[in-house]
Amino acid sequence: MAKASKGDLSTYRKKRTNSSNRAAAKAGNKLQETLHELAFQKFALDQAAIVAVTDLDGKITYANSKFCEVSGYSQNELSGKNHRIINSSYHPPDFFAEMWNTISSGKVWRGEIRNKTKDGTLYWTDSTIVPLLDDHGKPIKYLSIRFDISDRKKFEETLRLQERAIASSHNGIVITDCRLPNNEVVYVNSAFEKITGYISSEVIGKNCRFLQGTDVFQPEKDILRNAINKGESCSVVIRNYRKDGSLFWNELNISPIFDEMGRATHFIGIQTDITARKEAEKDLKRQMSLTVLLNRITDEIRQSLDIESIFQTAAHQIQLAFRASRCLIYKLDYEDQNSVLEPQISLMSEQLADKIFSVKDFELPLLNSAFGKRVSNQDQAISITNVYAEEDLGDLGELFYRMQLRSLLAIRTSSHGLTNGLILLHHCNSFHELNLIILFIQMWI
């Protein structure tokens, strides 16, 4: 075998040295890059996160600048201290016991903690505590990385307060999403459920017009539709219907909710059940109409001394006021005021609406029937929506059929407690809910 010359060996050694130097330089550069990357990551983390390292006893051995900035303590004040220095006393002891059990067993703990700064200001952090383990899997120190979420928690608390306020409101509140094709309901509060009788699950996903039932020809619908299309507020009073079919008057105020771009995304509707107020207004109108009626009758009676004209005037005005098909006024005569005999009854006036026939020649058992006795023994008006469904009138069904009678209002008139007359109002064309004010008309014959 040929031996290598001294020149060849020297050349080989130089090449090998150069290769080693290049490898070392490359490794050094790689290390520098890694260290630079770690330094950059640490810098970035310090800008955003509160970082601390503690020993196994929980004493702080390292606190970054963000920790000092948020807590108000300097690094010297934090070093060697326990995290109890920032404890706000908000969380119960079990909360921290569970946390220590987790990290001391080598597991990562995550949670939200409310802390307190040096000046007593409260703040929230989203915390992650990572145990650093030895070769045997035992913790040797703990690394805590926390993010200040105080603004988010304040926002969440504001939302919860608003939700509680909406939920506890006595007004019905409904929120719809006008971005959806049918402007669907996405939220209703408990007052809405109470007013309408519908539960939330029966309403979500529907358009609010279902509350109008078959009562769809209301001009308020157009006002609402135009406001929604234009993204504007409006107020209407509209007829709505509960789940049981009963009517309620809804004073509805709607307003758009805009996103950050100024676009209407939702509408909030505040509804007030004003049915009682509407009924009170209706009763007031009835009372005013009744007052006008009685004043008109009184004025016309004063202008006439003719007893027949008096009855005709009274019957005519009553028939018009209550839009009755017929108004019949009867007078009761007693031979003796102290007599217990049956009085004589006479028809004093009959007023008819258009196309309604007279019943003057009909024999009406007004005093001999159970219904007649009921009317003559009480001052309160008796209204019957369906005369064929009233038990007291069962024997009179055939007579009522001949009279084409459907609904009836009967009123006793009296003087000094003694019945002296009867007023009957007939409705023949349809059944009427005769929710009328009690009339006391004293008639002196």
User: Which two structure tokens, joined as six digits, stand for 263?
Assistant: 């676009």
The pair of structure tokens assigned to 198 is 């519908």
Q: Which residues are bridge partners to 116 per DSSP? A: 122
The residues that bridge with 414 in the sheet, in sequence order, are: 419
Q: What contacts 24+ positions apart, CB below 8 Å, involve 109-112?
A: 112/149, 112/153
Q: Position of tokens 């058992």?
A: 365
Candidates 176, 170, 205; CA nearest to 190 is 170
Cβ contacts of 224 within 8 Å, gap of 6 or more: 234, 236, 238, 252, 254
What gap in Å lies between CA 25 and CA 47, rounded to an integer? 33
Quote the pLDDT of residue 282. Answer: 80
**3-state SS assignment for residue 262:** coil
Q: How far apart are CA 108 and CA 104, in angstroms?
A: 9
Which domains are present in the chain? 29-150 (3.30.450.20), 169-273 (3.30.450.20), 319-427 (3.30.450.40)
SS3 369: coil
Q: Which residues contact 142 (CB under 8 A, 6 or more apart)?
A: 53, 54, 55, 56, 58, 103, 129, 130, 131, 132
| Cα Rg of the chain (Å, integer) | 46
Cα–Cα dist 160/155, whole Å: 9
- Please report, for residues 221, 225, 240, 297, the alpha-carbon distance to residue 274 in angstroms, rounded to integers and kept in the order given: 18, 22, 11, 34
**Contact yes or no for 248/240 (Cβ under 8 A):** yes
How far apart (Å, rounded) are the C-alpha atoms in residues 394 and 387?
8
Task: Mention every residue, 6+ apart, whose C-beta is less than 8 A from residue 165.
Answer: none
Integer angstrom CA distances of residue 400 from 147, 361, 388: 85, 14, 8
326, burial (CB in 10 Å: exposed 0-12, middle 13-18, buried 19+): buried
User: What does DSSP assign to residue 354?
Assistant: T
Q: For residue 413, what are its two tokens?
A: 């008139």
Q: Give me the torsion for CA of 293, 297, 298, 303, rounded to 10°.
A: 140
| Contact between 365 and 396 (Cβ < 8 Å) | yes
Q: Find out whether 440 and 417 touch, Cβ atoms under 8 Å.
A: no
* Both structure tokens of 363: 């024999």
CA distance 99 to 84: 14
**Other C-beta atoms within 10 Å of 359: how many?**
20
One-letter amino acid of 256: P
Beta bridge partners of 127: 111, 146
CA distance 74 to 86: 13
Q: How do strand 234-241 and strand 344-352 relate by DSSP bridges? A: unpaired
Mention every residue, 6+ apart, whose C-beta is less than 8 A from residue 265. Answer: 177, 178, 179, 257, 258, 259
Amino acid making up residue 14 = K
State the Cα–Cα distance between residues 48 and 44, nearest whole angstrom. 7
Look up residue 30 and give its amino acid.
K
Q: Angle of helix 275-302 relative to helix 307-321, nearest 10 degrees? A: 160
Residues 319, 324, 325, 329: what is their CA dihedral angle, to the nearest 10 degrees? -50
* Residue 209 phi, psi dihedral angles, 5° rounding: -65, -15
pLDDT of the chain along its 445 residues, tens only? Answer: 555 555 565 665 565 666 666 666 666 666 666 666 666 666 666 777 899 999 999 999 999 999 999 999 999 999 999 999 999 999 999 999 999 999 999 999 999 999 999 999 999 999 999 999 998 889 999 999 999 999 999 988 888 888 888 888 889 999 999 999 899 999 999 999 999 999 999 999 999 999 999 998 899 999 999 999 999 999 999 999 999 999 999 999 999 999 989 999 999 999 999 998 888 888 777 777 767 766 666 666 566 657 777 788 888 878 887 788 999 998 888 776 555 567 788 888 999 999 999 998 888 777 777 787 888 888 778 888 888 888 777 788 888 889 999 988 888 888 777 888 888 999 988 766 554 434 434 333 3
